[in-house]
Amino acid sequence: GNSVTQMEGPVTLSEEAFLTINCTYTATGYPSLFWYVQYPGEGLQLLLKATKADDKGSNKGFEATYRKETTSFHLEKGSVQVSDSAVYFCALLSSNTGKLIFGQGTTLQVKP
Amino acid sequence: DAGITQSPRHKVTETGTPVTLRCHQTENHRYMYWYRQDPGHGLRLIHYSYGVKDTDKGEVSDGYSVSRSKTEDFLLTLESATSSQTSVYFCAISGPDRVLDTQYFGPGTRLTVL
């Protein structure tokens, strides 16, 4: 079946530190991959996406590359800010079922 | 931002009472979804709709029903609320007419069942 596994949180970083949040997936077919971000008290916002192998999604300084050989879609940012504190969800959209499958979410806290 | 609103945004109710949550979109997208968010589970699909009067069950549909009489509105009903249905509920849309398009989410409804 389809599944997404994210690294356990919370992740606590100092401002300007490098961020990596790991995400691996299991899927049949050719899924699309997404990162969503949820700021406190808000809904989910699309952060970036990639629809095929080797695609790189990027937005607001965040990047993730669709790696089919390692079934991964790790989220990275070179220099985090306090305003990046949020919960980050990795998700895959199954090409077979059309269903969006989420990881459990990773909380990021950035301290000044 | 996608034009998605949810109402109410917060609700407290008692066990055994019926509850209806509303999702309204202004994007004319074909596909609409209801998810619940619980700690440690991410988001899980409750029901979805692929058109007016066309709905189907998701992963955690027990205790929930849905209706879609207009393209823009998708209703989620808890016929008899239980404490296990205390959660944050999110509506999402995708389209305009492909199920494999990106899903966009509403602001959520926080439901507490006492």
**Could you tell me which of B17, B12, B21, B38 has the C-alpha nearest to residue B82?**
B17
Interface contact flag, A100 B45, Cβ < 8 Å: yes
Q: Token match 């991410």: residue?
A: B42
Q: What is the pLDDT of residues A47-94, one digit of tens each?
A: 999 999 999 999 999 999 999 999 999 999 999 999 999 999 999 999
Interface contact flag, A103 B42, Cβ < 8 Å: yes
Average pLDDT over residues A88-103: 92
Q: How far is it, in rounded angstroms, from Cα B108 to Cα B105?
A: 8
Q: How far is it, in rounded angstroms, from Cα B32 to Cα B66?
A: 11
Residue among B40, B41, B108 minimizing CB distance to A43? B108
- For residue B89, give the chain A residue with the closest CA: A43
First vs last C-alpha separation in chain B? 34
- For residue B58, give the chain A residue with the closest CA: A99
Report phi then psi at A70, rounded to 5. Answer: -110, 5
Interface contact flag, B43 A44, Cβ < 8 Å: yes
Average pLDDT over residues B3-28: 96
Interface contact flag, B33 A100, Cβ < 8 Å: yes
Interface contact flag, B100 A36, Cβ < 8 Å: no
Q: What is the pLDDT of residues B47-73, one digit of tens each?
A: 999 999 999 999 999 999 999 999 999
Average pLDDT over residues B75-95: 96
Which residues 73-92 of chain B have a CB within 8 Å of chain A? 90, 92
Would you state the pLDDT for residue B70?
96
Q: Alpha helix locations (H) across chain B? A: none
Instruction: Tell the burial category of A67 from Cβ atoms under 10 Å away from its Cβ (0-12, 13-18, 19+).
Output: middle
Would you state the pLDDT for residue B73?
97
